[in-house]
Structure formats: structure tokens, C-alpha cells
Amino acid sequence: MMRLPTFTYLGAKTLNDAAIALADDPDGTRIVAGGTDLWPNLKRRHQGARAVVGLRRVPGLRGISGDPSTGVTIGAMTRLTDIVRSPVLRAGYPGFVRAVASISSPVLRNMGTIGGNLCLDTRCTYYNQNEEWRQSIGYCMKEVGDTCWVAPGSSRCWAVQASDSAPALCSLDAHVVLHSAEGERVLPIADLYNDDGIVYLTKSNTEILTEIRLGPIGTRTSTYWKLRRRGSIDFPVLGVGVALELEGNTVSSANIHLGAVHSFPVAATAAAAHLVGKPLTEALIAEAAELAKEPAAPLDNTDFTLQWRRRMLGVYVDGALRELAGLPAKAVPSAHGDAALALEV
């Protein structure tokens, strides 16, 4: 049985209680929301803490308010299950809801929160192992070692951002609110992430993510496609968040973000720009799917072979765009070379 390490637990009653606790010891204190990521990481000694501050009793951090026509606000402690079940979010932001519905299993979605999923620790084959395994290779750069075993000659960590909700919300140009003892600040969600497998968030250790803000939906439509080995539980090895604004069949704005291919959600800006001002035809979709491969940097540190994952980048962007265009889905080769029955969406 894996046991939690020793730490001091504070059940914060107000947001300021939590912020003050973080300010007192920012390097040794961690925030826990649903705990579906932090508790296993502490048990496996992937992360450590002198103190853990729980947000469960803090008022005002749960709930969904607003309307897609004017914008929606989601409290960071809102359970993933409540997001999936929300008629407001399902009607206005289907890509985001699909991304959240793909996270883990129903049991863990009942515990996990949207803020926790956005702040999810980065993942890597060489890092997400038990203590004995990591010790046997001398650890890695993300823990106490000095080598990135994915790219031993590199001076940085290449662990990947594995949040499903992040690329979906990036494609929707969402914003997040961060609270600290010094006050609040609002930033685009894309700016929450660093190009670094270790320091993967731009927020400081004294800041708490308190809410997510989604803008008016207008004529925009969205989707999310996820590649993983199993139909549930697994983290993504590729996530594609797409949002398009259409005037008839012509694309007036486009946003494509790729997850699990880098240490942050990658914007496929050239692919999105290629769509704007043109009818959403099969030929245009195929061209954009090829362009979407360029900014991604998948490495051999997650499931499936590297070569096949690179190939699937274009396939999944193509599939997501075809869905939004109302075109039939294509059959796709599996990782083993035979014909897959269908793409997972």
C-alpha cells in the first residue's frame, strides 16, 4: 500500500486563509482541490509538501453562471461531472464539454475539479513510475536528477502537458482568474502555461486559480478529439481542440490547439490562419491538417510509437475539422497497422 508522506493539512474556510498560507511558505505548501492528481503524486513521491491547503470548504469557488450569449463563468472547484451535465455548457461550448467528459472515469470526474485539471502536473514515461524504478535510473531532471532521459543531451525537461480541458479552453480563448494575498489578476488561459516540463505554469506558487471565464459564443462552434489507448481512464497522447466561427460555410475565425505534444498546449496558428476567409472544403481541411503538424513536437515519452503519433496529428485535426464541416469521418489506421473501426471523439 502506498502511503501519503507526513504534512500539515489546513482546511481553508476562506480564500484569504488559503492565500495567506501560500504566502507564508510558497515553496513547501500545495493547494488541493479534488485531489485526484495531487494525492497519487504525493504517494508515489513525485511531489512533496510540508503543508497542504484544502479548498473544499471555501465558499464561492463552485458553480456555473451566465449564458453562452453573454459569457459563462465557472468556479475552479466545480466538479468535472457538473460541467459534463451542464445544459448551458453543452449548448454553448460542446468542445469543452467533450474534453471534460473524456477525462479519466466517472468516479474520478465526480471528485476532480476543472481548476485541478487545468493545473495538472506534466507527465513523462521516465517520471511517472514508482520510486524504485526512478531511483534505478538515477531519477530524471523533473525530480532530483540532472538528465532528461527523453533527450539526454537537452538542458530542459520535455514532460508533456496532459490536461484535456486546457487545449479545448485555449481554442475558445477562455480567461482564468488568479488570486493571491496581493490581489487578483486575469489572463488568457494560453498564458497560464510555460514551455517547460518542470515549471509548467506561469502562475506563482502564491496564486490560486479561482475561476474560468468563457466569452460569448456568437456563431462559433467547437469540438475536441482525443487519442489514447483505451476508451476511458487514460491520459491523452494527443488532444485537438478546435473552435470555428462560420458564416454559412465560410470560416470567419479559427483557433486550433494541440495537447499532449509539448509541455504546453500548442497553438496551430498557421493551420488556423489558412482556414480563415475560405469555404470549409475537404481540400482546405486536408491542407490545414498538414500545417497543424508543424508547431508540434511530440517526443518518445508517452504511449504509442513516436512515428504513429506524429502521423495522427494531421489525422485528428482533419477529423475534427471534418466534424465541424458536417463531413463524414474517415477510417484511420491503428497503431498496429490494421484498420481502426472509427476515430475516438
User: What dihedral do alpha carbons 18, 24, 29, 31 form, nearest 10°?
Assistant: 20
Distance CA 257, CA 259 (A): 7
CATH 3.30.43.10 boundaries in the chain:
1-58
- DSSP 8-class letter at 340: -
CATH architecture of 1-58: 2-Layer Sandwich (3.30)
Q: What's the confidence (pLDDT) of residue 299?
A: 84
CATH 3.30.390.50 boundaries in the chain:
220-325
Q: What's the confidence (pLDDT) of residue 337?
A: 47
**Domain at 220-325, CATH class:** alpha beta
Given the DSSP bridges, would you call strands 71-75 and 208-214 parallel, antiparallel or unpaired? Answer: antiparallel
In tens digits, the chain (345 residues) has pLDDT values of 789 999 999 999 999 999 999 999 999 999 999 999 999 999 999 999 999 999 999 999 999 999 999 999 999 999 999 999 999 999 999 999 999 999 999 999 999 999 999 999 999 999 999 889 999 999 999 988 999 999 999 999 999 999 999 999 999 999 999 999 999 999 999 999 999 999 999 999 999 999 999 999 999 999 999 999 988 899 999 999 999 999 999 999 999 999 999 999 999 999 999 999 999 999 999 999 999 999 998 888 999 988 899 899 999 999 999 999 999 988 776 655 443 433 444
User: Which phi and psi (to 5°) does residue 251 adopt?
Assistant: -85, 120
Q: What's the confidence (pLDDT) of residue 334?
A: 60
Long-range contacts made by residues 44-47, C-beta under 8 angstroms, separation at least 24?
44/2, 44/130, 44/131, 45/5, 45/131, 46/121, 46/127, 46/128, 46/143, 47/121
Which has the closest alpha carbon to 240: 160, 319, 342? Answer: 319
**Chain position carrying cell 490545414:** 288
For the chain, counts of helices (H) and of strands (E): 12, 12
Category of 228 on φ-ψ map: left (φ > 0), alpha (ψ -120 to 50) or beta: beta
What is the spatial order of strands in the sheet that 71-75 belongs to? Answer: 64-67, 71-75, 208-214, 175-180, 183-188
Category of 71 on φ-ψ map: left (φ > 0), alpha (ψ -120 to 50) or beta: left
Which has the closest alpha carbon to 309: 319, 321, 320, 297? Answer: 297
Q: What's the confidence (pLDDT) of residue 160?
A: 96
**Chain position carrying cell 496558428:** 269
C-beta of residue 60 within 8 angstroms of C-beta of residue 20: no
- Beta bridge partners of residue 178, listed in sequence order: 185, 209
